[in-house]
Structure 1
């Protein structure tokens, strides 16, 4: 399949840095109404680090709207969570990001609200007489719940803390449309990540796409979708992209099982379904355990970072992952995945940590080589232990090579383009090892050390 540069939207070449602000800033887990001192100064410092040290061109920060606890039980769609600060401080944060050349997207939790949302409070007070009773799904005034509301209602995930909105209701739709207009007009944001997009109404998402086309050029809609045919959500009528959980699973389990067929098959399947749509690619995020906690061999963090940046998609880094930090769910809580971190404690990592070094180098490669954004993906060799593919553009190629085995491996395959020499573009990273490459008679031989991966430029 040949990928054509038919558009040059900012998100086509973006590298995202994801920040979970309530966790990073050490905010109270329950909203006590008190701001965390210096929160936005800290967030700005991390966004600057993402730009300067890692080459990230976009910030996904969220959840951000006023909520009762973890951020996804929204109380006020027009206010920054007061634990973080004020609307004015966020406006300055976005301006700082834009000055650095970074786009900013935020969470839009449009499927459900918290119990303190104004319309639900009205429903509690006025029951059958509430003008907002049709804003919510499956309201049953003959039922009850653990809060003893004297009625029951639809929710998300079985949690009555998260009240399901009726997205078929035109008033609800227009309320959310106005929310997006507000965040664009007041803060100049560049996109929305739609929480729980896999349960959002399809017609509602089509309305969001029409609105996105109106509010700002190249306003980006990305949806949280776990399983299924991603093209049902990511297509010209609905969302620009969705979270690539299918590849996320393959990235770590394919290495744990020494099975590159899983990763290669996943990419073939997704390209068959989604064609040239770029999916949002990640190794970990605020809902899943950190990569070091899932890998049997932490040396494979390097492999997965390279795959995230070199496969077809939109690469992203979850804050702290560039330092190889751990994070594991405890007693069903996600907060250990969303830690409070101090950037100063990681300053030495910029020059000594192999994980940090490879992420920084990949950011530079992404900026320097258009093939990593636009190049055709050509599979060159595939075994359970070894994987090689090229990104080819305008007669030039970058070749990513991987060995997940505990012993050295030799690979041989046909050159994807005419070339005389090969250069290891990650040879200067911390912990880099020697890779032997020879080119002859249109063939390429690569000798990789055990549990090692790199990116080669063909000249």
Structure 2
């Protein structure tokens, strides 16, 4: 099995976590990589075996307006410090992936500066899309160009240009040779050229064994991007939406239907599962009942896919967009503020327990998913492997519920694997004639290990 198939990711947005200036002033935050290393250690403590850190390279503002792909953002530190960070992660057994922002660049990128200076005679004018020297823009460049999302701050690259392709391929080679990274999260993969991504996959197979490519894709048939010729995985935004709205609407059919649909499209491909990230508001700001954070954490770890935590979410912190800004989703945090969280905070406690279970029980990674019961209020499914099974039981209703279903394997009793977490409640189980009954408290969820 490739390392990424049983990984648990910890997602760090470093410019936010380290409290960097929102506009690049060239000033490094003292000790930024020491802080990032401490958070990576914390991630290991709660069972995260891989770090997704990004954006990381020199940019003008939020990190996705890249200026220099081969220079760590000077607000964070130096290339040598990042190299040491990766080595420390590897020593703990953690893999490291970074953002590959290959669709667009910032206006201070060298090739765009050449375009501004030399216009029709620019050496790099064909590196960019839809350049129109009869147009103009809000920067008064005297020409217009393609961009990402309507933002001229983000200049769209022409990925069909072989020079652009080779520049990106050489960048990846540099990242592997210089930093020893283990994979890339491709920003805006849903608008990347498909042939370019095929080239990335061929390169990934060359630069390092099991080098992982994961793409940011919002909508559509995920198998168009995640397949043997292109990317290994993509972000599962479809499930992300179902996780919170399915609880707000007391509708587990939405979550179950999403998983069935995606399995039909993607088969055994493991999609990247998340409850929140640097672009979406955090669960406490989206859920009508914050008790359901527990349910969603359990689902992220037990449904088919690759689970992840966005930094701070294991502490149940809030994060809401304000005045169109994403910075409130990317806060500066201090680990010292959460020192005793695992023994006092129900959210932290359940994440830590899930990390341990993921490491100990192969059925939670490789087990077949078997749906056992589904109503608007209750959901039960099993992960079954080699005659062993863990059963996930969830109740999103405001009253206690009884679930009853056929046992997925032979068993005579069940052990509540989350009984020792902070805020855990008693769950009653009984078995007879191959069937199981589970009494669940209101707004409660857990994982039961079946025993013979």
TM-score bucket (shorter structure): over 0.9
Cα distance between partner residues in 2 of 1:41 and 1:350 = 22
**Offset from partner CA, 1:337-374 (integer Å, 9 cap, x none):** 00000000101212100000000000000000000110
Indicate the residue corresponding to 2:115 in structure 1. Answer: 123
Indicate the residue corresponding to 1:429 in structure 2. Answer: 421
1:16-31 equivalent positions in 2, closer than 5 A: 16-31=9-24
Cα distance between partner residues in 2 of 1:20 and 1:440 = 50
Q: Does 1:363 align with 2:355?
A: yes
1:44 to 12, 24, 37: 37
Cα distance between partner residues in 2 of 1:204 and 1:30 = 31
Shift of 1:448: 0.1
Indicate the residue corresponding to 1:32 in structure 2. Answer: 25
Shift of 1:278: 0.2
Unpaired segments ≥5 residues, structure 2: none
Cα distance between partner residues in 1 of 2:210 and 2:324 = 38
Indicate the residue corresponding to 1:59 in structure 2. Answer: 51
**Offset from partner CA, 1:178-225 (integer Å, 9 cap, x none):** 000000000000000000000000000000000000000000000000
Shift of 1:131: 1.0
Indicate the residue corresponding to 1:4 in structure 2. Answer: none
What TM-score does the superposition give when structure 2 sets the normalisation length?
1.00
Q: Does 1:305 align with 2:297?
A: yes
1:237-316 equivalent positions in 2, closer than 5 A: 237-316=229-308
Indicate the residue corresponding to 1:135 in structure 2. Answer: 127
Q: Which moved more, 1:346-355 or 1:320-329?
A: 346-355
What TM-score does the superposition give when structure 1 sets the normalisation length?
0.98
1:59-458 equivalent positions in 2, closer than 5 A: 59-458=51-450
Shift of 1:144: 0.5
Cα distance between partner residues in 1 of 2:344 and 2:28 = 35
| RMSD between superposed Cα atoms in Å | 0.3
Shift of 1:296: 0.1
Unpaired segments ≥5 residues, structure 1: 1-7
Cα distance between partner residues in 1 of 2:365 and 2:427 = 25
Q: Which moved more, 1:342-351 or 1:68-77?
A: 342-351
Instruction: Classify the secondary structure of the residue corresponding to 2:373.
Output: strand
Cα distance between partner residues in 2 of 1:12 and 1:191 = 13
Indicate the residue corresponding to 1:3 in structure 2. Answer: none
**Offset from partner CA, 1:388-440 (integer Å, 9 cap, x none):** 00000001000000000000000000000001110000000000000000011
Instruction: Classify the secondary structure of the residue corresponding to 1:36.
Output: coil
Shift of 1:229: 0.1
Q: Which runs of 4+ in 1 moved over 2 A?
A: none
**Offset from partner CA, 1:221-280 (integer Å, 9 cap, x none):** 000000000000000000000000000000000000000000000000000000000000
Cα distance between partner residues in 1 of 2:27 and 2:118 = 30
